[in-house]
Structure 1
Amino acid sequence: MPSTPPPGILEPFLAAADAAASSRPDVDAETARELMAEAASMLHDSLALDHLDEHDLPQVVAALAADLTAVDPGAAVRDRAAAAGDDPALHDPDGVRGAYLVVVQVLGL
């Protein structure tokens, strides 16, 4: 049975679903929220983000929330992974890059 993701993961994902539904007429709000809640649960259960520190985790979650509502979420997350090494704001760019690549696998993107 899937566990409930913490608010720090679930809330940004739901907010991104709401934003996508309000800005794109082809997106059903209820379906978007269900899919993003499921993605948050899958990532939480997979432990894909567990190694990230308190600084990097919120940045990764916010980026994933945006990327997963993109027209091509797989490409968006892979592009984000490729750029992680160049982000001086991250404490652990290699760990963040790895997390993005694991997310691609966990979510089947």
Structure 2
Amino acid sequence: MPPTPPPGILEPFLAAADAAASTRPEVDAEIARELMAEAAGVLHDSLALDHLDGHDLAIVVGALADDLTAPDPGAAVRARAAAVPDGDPDLHDPEGVRGAYLVSVQVLGL
């Protein structure tokens, strides 16, 4: 059995799955949680998030969790990456955050 991603990565993904299942009747909660746990695990095992500090990691993980429940997750993540301004004062490494989004698209096959 592969290692479980840390709570800081897994919990936002599971919360997004629960939110999607509660607001969209066509979404099966158990399957959504399983898929989001798998996505969290794949991202954790990849190098997509490794370069981010704790502050930026929390922002990226939350955004990815939300975007992965969108009707077109790949488009949602790419749009989010494109919207990261170079001098964003809320991010420690805007370029690294943008890169993490784009690498995540590739890692997850979106």
* Residues 1-109 of structure 1 mapped to structure 2, 5 A cutoff: 2-85=2-85, 87-109=88-110
Q: Deviations over 1:41-84 (max 9, x none)?
A: 00000021011011111011110110000111000000011011
**Identity level (%):** 83
Q: 1 CA distance for matches of 2:57 and 2:75?
A: 21
Contact 1:2/1:45 (CA < 8 Å) preserved in 2? no
Given the two structures, how large is their TM-score scaled by the length of structure 1? 0.96
Amino acid at match of 1:100: Y
Q: Deviations over 1:13-34 (max 9, x none)?
A: 0000000000001100000000
Q: 2 CA distance for matches of 1:4 and 1:43?
A: 11
Q: 2 CA distance for matches of 1:84 and 1:34?
A: 29
Q: CA deviation at 1:88?
A: 2.7
Q: 1 CA distance for matches of 2:34 and 2:75?
A: 22
Amino acid at match of 2:55: H
* Structure 1 portions without partners, runs of 5+: none
- Root-mean-square deviation (CA), in Å? 1.0
* Structure 2 portions without partners, runs of 5+: none
Contact 1:8/1:58 (CA < 8 Å) preserved in 2? yes
Q: CA deviation at 1:85?
A: 2.4
**Secondary structure of the structure 2 residue equivalent to 1:66:** helix
Amino acid at match of 1:89: D
Q: 1 CA distance for matches of 2:92 and 2:7?
A: 22
Q: CA deviation at 1:105?
A: 0.3
Question: Alignment length, in residue pairs?
Answer: 109
